[in-house]
Amino acid sequence: MAVYKVVEIGDPVLKEVAKPVPKINENILKLLQNMADTMYAAEGVGLAAPQIGISKRVIVIDVGEGLIEMINPEIIAQEGLQTDTEGCLSIPGMLGEVPRAGRVVVKGLNRHGQEYAVEAEALLARAFQHEIDHLEGILFVDKATSVAKKK
Ligand code: ZN
């Protein structure tokens, strides 16, 4: 178990476009473990590798329905619109109202290098869009219609 310090807004790694993972090796498996450990320790519902300073296209999500690990995730379909309050472990103490697609289909690789797809809506769809944005160097405050300090 390795819990990392979550990188905070202002760190240039959060603005980088993360690199695709060409091959799943021991380091990527370790990264997945460390990311899950860090996400659960911080009580987040998702984490992208740049948030622990690693500019690679790897995300983990758990919205209370079990751990999802995805390598090289890609949104292949989206529809509808939802606007809800969102926060980010890299922007502590802040919340924003962020418009997102209501439903998405995301595909990527699992830890065995097999491609799979997830159909998501509501909070899970929001989490995927938020984490994939991190891989493009985009933070929720870049998209929020309003941002406020957490009470
Ligand atoms: Zn975030």
Residue 84 CA to ligand 1 center (angstroms) comes to 15
pLDDT for position 114? 98
Per-residue pLDDT for the chain (151 aa), expressed as one digit of tens each?
Answer: 799 999 999 999 999 999 999 999 999 999 999 999 999 999 999 999 999 999 999 999 999 999 999 999 999 999 999 999 999 999 999 999 999 999 999 999 999 999 999 999 999 999 999 999 999 999 999 999 999 998 8
Residue 97 CA to ligand 1 center (angstroms) comes to 14
For residue 42, give the 3-state DSSP assignment: coil
pLDDT for position 136? 98
User: Which of 43, 86, 119, 131 is the catalytic position?
Assistant: 131
CB 60 within 8 A of CB 46: yes
pTM for the full predicted model: 0.97
Annotated active-site residue 131? The verdict is yes
pLDDT for position 117? 98
How far is the C-alpha of 130 from the C-alpha of 92, rounded, in Å?
Answer: 15
Closest CA to 128 of 117, 112, 144: 117
Amino acid occupying residue 88: C
Architecture of domain 12-149: Alpha-Beta Complex (3.90)
DSSP run (H or E) holding 140: helix 140-143
pLDDT for position 82? 97
Residue 134 CA to ligand 1 center (angstroms) comes to 7
pLDDT for position 150? 87
CB 47 within 8 A of CB 4: no
Q: What is the DSSP string of 15-41?
A: GSPPBP-SS--HHHHHHHHHHHHHHHH
